[in-house]
Structure 1
């Protein structure tokens, strides 16, 4: 009856795999929630412009030093804002990568294996 599945022992292995997959799914959900609550700060212009974002990359706040708010410097300010956003996004991606690597290591996966598969 269970020949194609490797006998009853194969079903036990399948149950272990399913349990491991559910455990990994739970850990992924925990990691996503933790990343949504962690913040990173990107900066540009030696801190004249700062952007706060979640580790998932959602921008939450923008801080501009008033000394650069001069009409003739509009393009410079815009460039600094964009640079600070990119810096925050890079920091968010780095945080995600570190957390993913930690989780993969805790699951006993080889280094460099990407999650989710």
Structure 2
């Protein structure tokens, strides 16, 4: 009766898989906004916290480094901590993306849009 429509089942399955992937990617984006990483410099004297998406959320500076003659050192430590947090955020994001692509049966090195 429905001869010739056999491909519809495959199309439906493909559409369901695409919707599942879209839902999982949306959840991953939300998770990345909640996950945090902390970068450090100066043996922990300066700490920068960021979301896994790279948004800086906090900066913690040990007061012992505030000396007028050390202004440039303090600035360098702050930048180094922020860069470390951004690097860790990128690594966390890539790790989570790789996990999702593997769970979906996609190639591990597949680049998905973000």
Please tell me whether residue 80 in structure 1 is matched to residue 77 in structure 2.
Answer: yes
The alignment's TM-score, normalised by the length of structure 1, stands at 0.88
- 1:13 paired residue among 6, 10, 13: 10
Mapping for residues 56-75 of structure 1, pairs under 5 Å = 56-75=53-72
Q: Corresponding residue for 1:27?
A: 24
Q: Corresponding residue for 2:100?
A: 103
Q: Corresponding residue for 1:37?
A: 34
Count of residues in Structure 1 that have an aligned counterpart in Structure 2: 111
- The runs of 4+ residues in structure 1 deviating greater than 3 Å are none
Local SS of the residue matching 1:8: coil
Q: Corresponding residue for 2:113?
A: 116
Gaps of 5+ in 1: 1-6
For 1:34 and 1:84, locate their aligned partners in 2 and report how far apart those are by CA, in whole Å: 23
Q: Residue 35 of structure 1: CA displacement?
A: 1.0
| Structure 1 vs Structure 2 CA RMSD | 1.4
Q: Residue 83 of structure 1: CA displacement?
A: 0.7
